[in-house]
Amino acid sequence: MKSACTSRYRVVGIVADVRHGGTDGSIEAEVYAPRTQMLAPPPSMQFVAARTTGDPAALAGELRSIVRSASERGALDQLMTMERRLMVSLAKPRLYAALLGGFASFALLIAIIGLFGGLSYAVSQRRREIGVRTALGATPRHIVGMVMKQGTIMTVCGLAIGLAAAAATVRYLSAFLFGIEPLDALRR
């Protein structure tokens, strides 16, 4: 196969590692080359990046004319700033994070309501005992302390079960983490 290069390669810069869409975090080789140095016919879709110090929207017409002059079939579609492109690429992960945060908040609310309901039921079942204790001289402080102790025991048991379940599922969930470890928050 004959090369489409009209000149030798000339390195004009080096960019940082590039990650494309995969969740495995792998880094693949990436080469940015002018069309005149491409070894194969150009792909049907290409990306153009331009650095400017002024308003990027003001360069839209000039960029379109440059693309048209480079190729008769070339058209500039989806013109946006790098900040906007970054926001578009992060929209799905942000949605997932917001949904996860919402579900976590809902789970916390349900846990609090469950703890309150459990304590209310336990207090209503011990109403006679609390009455006898009060009649024998127990102060409201002692009664509240007794109820709080029972609530603390329920909370600690729930936390222990929850942490055990989290530790059991951490290997499964680590497949969904990109670029971080499951216990990174504890190491900082």
Whether residue 139 sits in one domain with residue 177? yes
Is the CB of residue 23 less than 8 Å from the CB of residue 31?
no
Both ends of the chain: CA-CA distance in Å?
A: 54
What mean pLDDT comes out for the span 140-147? 92
What mean pLDDT comes out for the span 80-97? 87
What mean pLDDT comes out for the span 116-145? 91
For residues 111 and 170, what is the distance between their CA atoms, to the nearest angstrom? 21
Whether residue 100 sits in one domain with residue 131? yes
Whether residue 95 sits in one domain with residue 55? no
pLDDT digits (tens, 9 = 90+) for 18-65: 666 555 656 666 777 766 666 666 666 677 778 888 888 788 888 888
Whether residue 69 sits in one domain with residue 101? no
Whether residue 145 sits in one domain with residue 108? yes
Structure token pair of residue 150: 């029972």
DSSP secondary structure letters along 13-46: --------S-SS----------GGG-SSPPPS--
Whether residue 109 sits in one domain with residue 56? no
Structure token pair of residue 97: 């994070």
Confidence check: pLDDT of 115 > 90: no
pLDDT digits (tens, 9 = 90+) for 174-185: 777 666 676 666
Which of 141, 112, 136 has its CA nearest to residue 120? 112
- Look up the domain containing 119 and give its range: 91-187
For residues 3 and 33, what is the distance between their CA atoms, to the nearest angstrom? 14
Q: Which residue do the tokens 């017409």 mark?
A: 61
> What pLDDT, on the 0 to 100 scale, is given for residue 1?
45
Q: Which of 29, 55, 89 is the last residue of a domain?
A: 89
**Hey, what amino acid is at 131?**
G
Contacts of 49 (CB under 8 A, 6+ apart): 82
Contacts of 88 (CB under 8 A, 6+ apart): 80
Which of 5, 3, 55 has its CA nearest to residue 35? 5
More confident residue, 106 or 184: 106
Whether residue 179 sits in one domain with residue 98? yes
